[in-house]
Amino acid sequence: MRKKGTLMKRRTTAIIAAAVAVTLLIIALVVVLNNVVNVKAVTDKADGSVYYIIKRDGIYALYDSDKKTMMPKDEQYGYFEGRSGTLFDVDGETGECEQIILATLMEGTNEELGFGQRFLIFPHIEKANILKLEVFNSNGSFTFKRANTETLEEDPKGSFIIDGTPFTSYDQELFASLYVSAGYTLTTQKIEDPIKHPETGDFREYGLVPETRKKADPETGEYLKNEDGSFVYEEYTPAYYVLTDTSGNKYKVIIGDMLVTGGGYYAQYVDIDKNGNETKRDAVYVLGADVGDTMLAPIEKFVTPELTYPMTMNTYFDVENFLIMSKKADATVDSEDYYEDIVAFTYDDLSLRENTIKASEPYHFLAGYGLAGFKASSDNIDACLQGLYTPAYVEVTKLFPTMDDMVKYGIAVEGVDDKGEKIYDLLPEHMITFNFDVLDENGKKEGTVNNVIYISALNEDGNRYAYTEIYETDKNGKPILDYEKGLIRSTNMIVEIEGHSLEFLNWDKYDWINSSYISLNIAFCDQIILDAPNYKAIFDLKNQNDASSEAISSSLLTVHATDSKGNDVTTFAPKSYEDKNGNIWVVSVSDVKCYSPTGTELKIDNKSAYYDYNVMGTQVRVLHGAIECADGRRVYVSADEVKVQGAETVTYVRYDTNLFRQFYKTLLYASISDSYELTPEEKATKITEANRLLTLTVKDTEGTTYVYTFYYLTSRKAYITVAVDTGEGLSEPSGGFYVLNARVEKFISDAQRFFALEMIDSTAKN
């Protein structure tokens, strides 16, 4: 039995060993077969070199003949590059491969350059190896080059700028299509036996040399003719570009006519040696149709439109000395006063406005201009600045504009000087100037930019053209660039902007102001004077509880008021009385409180006090009986009065402070109705003392005085002017608006109601 068990054990072991051996053999065969399937040799058609396409880690790639070294790849497309310059387009999933061969390597061979096979006219130059790209076409010429951003000198390690306008931004995606088109010159066809001119031997048949041609209508394609029936001719020059790599090598390609099929353009390569000598390659190629979108495009296509110095969502409103000027309706080139000042304002930083009278007024109109003294409409000014910050661009119309371009697009006008020579003046329909602080990464000011924007009238599409000059100074006010040498940080472009973005240029002056011309918080009002031909009233406001108080609060308001009718009123202020027990009773406009001799507030029960409504409809606290004072006086507190009986009886009107508040609301509710422009002749006859209805003077607690004067215009309208005195004398009055006569009359009637202790309805018409 032992021998039989041993034998069975040996057989089992043998079976297991055989199974393991078979498994290992299968794995080995799979590996071998997999390597056979996933390894494919490919021969470079240019020089016969053999490479291998091998799948490793699930991806196919091109390896050198040792099957270990992966060939280098370009950055843009991921093509593998052979030693000859041939590019191998290897599909990472299938291993399929297409060769892109350098055309010169095929010259003199039996290979044919035909459709279906892609070739490079010259070696692929990646972006990293491009120093400069110069383009010349029917739209003009332009150059992208690498330069040091500080010195603006050409630098192989620098960033690309547009030569001649280094601060102009450009579309990175469109620029990528340009340098790829230039450095990756794919051709799908070489013309067999191209036609040569019998005399010159050149390829003018393909539009590859300059010549005189019949001029065709760009829309219909028909040849244009003169009045006598002869053809109109023009000088034709083919487009071309020159690419310079970072090693100094130059590559030039001439681009000729489009194929009649529209499927591409004829092209010729020009070799340039180290001495600059050019040799045209005796071959004609076909480049793809996309060349028309890159090498034949104007520079304007690549440029990012700009209207102002770059601003952000967090800073666009932070402008200083913002001024809009518009051409006067009757202005001519020789007019001394060509422009009219429309609006001028400045943003006031929040840090300077906090806890001041101007806390809620982010903008103020500048002194010396038409709207000084009126309140600015912050909402509308924000809308204006947003229109400049994010305008709706149509296109960049012209980069590097000449003065003739400026005239063409309504930015300048053309004239002749005394010698008969042509001169130009920058006289657009509108001009905008403003300063803008440049902040560093820590939010500190590092300089100031002055924007000068020239804007045309509306074109036939309802849009406007604009050109901007930018002058930049450092934090000390020193110019950063030499303006005398023309080094202006200009946008250097004329842009077309949709008309609605600059709609504020059509605004009436009324659109710029806050129609509520008196918006001063009563807590910051120091004095009000009404001066009419037959009546005068003066209101001195005190917003402090006593002489030792420094707090400003309208809840502590008292008013001393006098008028030309002999009235003299001091409104009710909180009053204190000591009773026989030494307790202190404090009676205010709306409440009554009691404090112990130690200052502890004592509870007043319902038997002693209750709530009632005064004549103004305000709920106030009153007392049932009298306060028996330590000095023998008796104090009675009702809803409308505080009566003190002693040797003499004195009665205080408890609600007159609130009555004054109603009068103040009459001022606050006043508003400007609309614009009302007067000619100089009309001002001379209408802005007179005989027509003066009222002068309203409002002085704030910070020492600024506003003088509003109202003049009769019609039975319904009164012309309003405002002058301001900040301590340096009264400014010239600003005007241009009208208010309703009824409100001016209500100012006077409500002042008289205050003295008569009559109810005042601030919202009523009279």
Pairing between β-strand 339-347 and β-strand 363-365 as defined by DSSP bridges: antiparallel
Same domain, 148 and 262: yes
State the DSSP string of 404-430.
HHHHHTTS-EEEE-TTS-EEEE---SE
pLDDT recorded at residue 30: 44
Residue 221: per-residue pLDDT: 84
Pairing mode of beta strands 118-120, 130-137: unpaired
Q: How many domains does the chain have?
A: 5
Q: What is the bridge-based pairing of β-strands 118-120 and 97-102?
A: parallel
pLDDT tens per residue, range 36-69: 457 888 888 777 788 998 999 889 999 998 888 8
Looking at the structure, tell me whether residues 203 and 256 fall in a common domain: yes
**Cβ–Cβ under 8 Å, residues 256 and 265:** yes
Please write the tens of the pLDDT for every residue from 558-607. Answer: 899 999 999 999 999 889 999 999 999 999 999 999 999 999 999 999 88
Clarify whether residues 642 and 667 are in a common domain: no
- Parallel, antiparallel or unpaired: strands 233-236 and 211-214: antiparallel
Residue 461 lies in a domain: yes
Q: List the Cα angle 721/722/728 in 5-degree steps.
A: 140
Please, which residues bridge with residue 218 across strands? none
The DSSP 8-state label assigned to residue 209 in this structure reads S
At 437, is the secondary structure helix, strand, or coil?
A: strand
SS (H, E, C) 229-290: CCECEEEECCEEEEEEECCCCEEEEEEEEECCCCCEEEEEEEEECCCCCEEECCCCEEEEHH
Instruction: Say what the pLDDT of residue 1 is.
Output: 43
**Is residue 204 domain-resident?**
yes
For 608, the token pair is 């002693």
* Co-location of 634 and 729 in the same domain: no
Tell me which of 51, 86, 111 is where a domain ends. Answer: 111
In a domain, 70, yes or no: yes
* 28 assigned to some structural domain: no
Regarding whether 249 and 157 lie in a shared domain, the answer is: yes
Q: What is the pLDDT of residue 544?
A: 64
Q: State whether 648 and 671 are in the same domain.
A: no
Q: Answer yes or no: do 567 and 581 share one domain.
A: no
Q: Give the pLDDT score at 695.
A: 98
Q: Please tell me the predicted confidence (pLDDT) of residue 105.
A: 58
Same domain for 522 and 535: yes
CA distance 341 to 329: 13
pLDDT at 660: 95
Domain for residue 116, yes or no? no
Of 393, 499, 403, the residue nearest 456 (C-alpha) = 499
Low-confidence ranges of the chain (pLDDT < 70): 1-37, 76, 103-117, 480-490, 544-555
Which residue segment(s) compose the domain that 49 sits in? 39-111
**Domain for residue 12, yes or no?**
no
Residue 18 lies in a domain: no
Q: CB pairs under 8 A, 24+ apart, for 234-237?
A: 235/210, 235/211, 236/207, 236/210, 236/211, 236/212, 237/136, 237/138, 237/210
The answer to whether 254 touches 275, Cβ cutoff 8 Å, is no
Tell me the C-alpha distance between 292 and 259, whole Å: 12
* Domain membership flag for residue 27: no
Residue 553 shares a structural domain with residue 682:
yes
Residues 374 and 483 in one domain: yes
Q: In angstroms, rounded to a whole number, what is the distance separating the alpha carbons of residues 240 and 165? A: 22
Predicted local distance difference test score (pLDDT) of residue 381: 96
Say whether both 650 and 662 belong to one domain: no
Burial of 31 (0-12, 13-18, 19+ CB in 10 A): exposed
Whether 708 and 564 map to the same domain: the answer is yes
